[in-house]
Amino acid sequence: MRRSLILLMALPLLGQSHEEPKIETEPPIVESGGGTSFPPWRLATQEPKPSFPWEKVSSFLGGVVAGLAIHETGHMGAGAILGKDPYFTRTNSGVMPFFTVAYGKAPTNDRQAFTLAAAGFWMQHAMAEAILAKYPKVWRDAPPAVQGAFVFHLLTSLIYTYGALAKSGAPERDTLGMARSLNVDERWMGVAILLPAALDLYRSFHPEARWATWSSRGVKVGFVFGITR
């Protein structure tokens, strides 16, 4: 009898459902204008939308301009050392107006002519070596400005190579000046410009490849020894 009473008293408890407790969420606040807003503590948990990296882009483009300045500094410096009164002048490359370094006094021999034409690449190659020496993995470790300068080195070499192989562009182009001073076909100068740039691009992805490093440096040094011809 006692057991029956205990079972009868326990039936209501067994019939109760065991539901998980509900977590109340704060509903959005309806404003008078029809819009909705959320409490400050809910807004704080929302992730901000990614913005365009203007700072990195401007830094990268600044590096490109710096690479151009280094290249032209080579021409200006060589002209000043040789006493050729260098100055900037407008030129038309056939694609868009640009500027180039001209000289008030013409070179008196082939060595001077080669030096004036090649000096921009000497500075550009030195810049590329400095970048790869400090940042072997340039695409991963270098800041955007340095990457921009390195990209200038690659693209400028490609543009000059195209001009030399196609024999097109401004008559003041460096490859034509070097070819005339060495009395060789300009297309050889295009290959000589492309080779170290291609090796430097390979080095930027494979810094452990010592053969690419020393091959690139060997070609670059060859540009300097061109004045001894």
Report how far residue 160's alpha carbon sits from residue 223's, in angstroms, rounded to the nearest whole number: 15
| 186 inside domain | yes
Which CB contacts under 8 angstroms, 24+ apart, belong to 36-39?
A: none
The number of folded domains in the chain is: 1
Q: At what angle do helices 144-166 and 54-81 cross, to 10 degrees?
A: 60
Report how far residue 229's alpha carbon sits from residue 178's, in angstroms, rounded to the nearest whole number: 12
| 81 inside domain | yes
pLDDT digits (tens, 9 = 90+) for 40-67: 555 555 566 778 888 999 999 999 999 9
| 118 inside domain | yes
pLDDT at 226: 72
pLDDT digits (tens, 9 = 90+) for 121-162: 999 999 999 999 999 999 999 999 999 999 999 999 999 999
Report how far residue 102's alpha carbon sits from residue 8's, in angstroms, rounded to the nearest whole number: 110
Report how far residue 218's alpha carbon sits from residue 212's, in angstroms, rounded to the nearest whole number: 10
Tokens 């830094």 correspond to 59
| 50 inside domain | no
Say what the pTM is: 0.75
| 21 inside domain | no
- Work out the number of other CB atoms within 10 angstroms of the CB of residue 157: 23
H or E stretch at 70: helix 54-81
> Has residue 23 got a pLDDT over 70?
no
pLDDT at 162: 94
| 30 inside domain | no
| 26 inside domain | no
Structural domain including 125 reads: 57-228
| 79 inside domain | yes
Confidence of residue 172 (pLDDT cuts 50, 70, 90): confident
Within 8 A by CB and 6+ apart from 188, the residues are 179
> Has residue 191 got a pLDDT over 80?
yes
Cα 54 from chain centre: 15
pLDDT at 170: 83
